[in-house]
Amino acid sequence: MHFNPYGGAAAELAARLVNAPPDGDLLEVIADSGYKPLGPLDAHQRTELRRWIARLGAAFDNPTVELLNELLAETTGQPYISTHDGREPHLHYARADAPIDERVKAYTAAGLAALFCEDPSRIGRCARAGCGLVFVDTSRNGRRRFCSTRCSNRVHVAEHRIRRSA
């Protein structure tokens, strides 16, 4: 399924951040997603992003209007229309000169909110017991329950074995 840039790329970044190892390099995760932060993260910004990631995780567990509005309210962003790099006019949710952590917070909150408004069932956490990874469902039918084919196969093989032994 094709989402607008905030409902797609920004929500995907939120999922990548939630799934990142606790000691992982946040700038690397952010850069690998295609988001271009400028400059390093200081200790305060890293701490703030880790706190934010925990908040994002809750949104994947149970996305609600109230929770997503709380996330949006917590950002310091002020939406504006941008035409940078020769692109068509599009919305930005934080100033270009805002600190990286504030830009990432505004971007991911807006992304999850946009995705939720398009289809709340596309925000999820893997249904395999013990996995815990989150995902943005971009499948055609919107029925994804697992973070990966591997988790899906594990569950289905286990279910098959149970049925077969019964």
Phi, psi (deg, nearest 5) at residue 81: -90, 130
Give the pTM: 0.87
Which domains does the chain carry?
5-120 (1.10.3300.10)
What's the pLDDT band for 161 if we cut at 50, 70, 90? confident
High-pLDDT (> 90) share of the chain, %? 64
| pLDDT, tens digit (0-9, with 9 covering 90-100), for 39-67 | 789 999 999 999 999 999 999 999 999 99
| pLDDT, tens digit (0-9, with 9 covering 90-100), for 139-148 | 888 889 999 9
DSSP state of 21: -
Q: Which of 105, 109, 79 is nearest to 91 (CA)?
A: 79
Strands in the chain per DSSP E: 80-82, 90-92, 123-125, 134-136
What's the pLDDT band for 166 if we cut at 50, 70, 90? confident
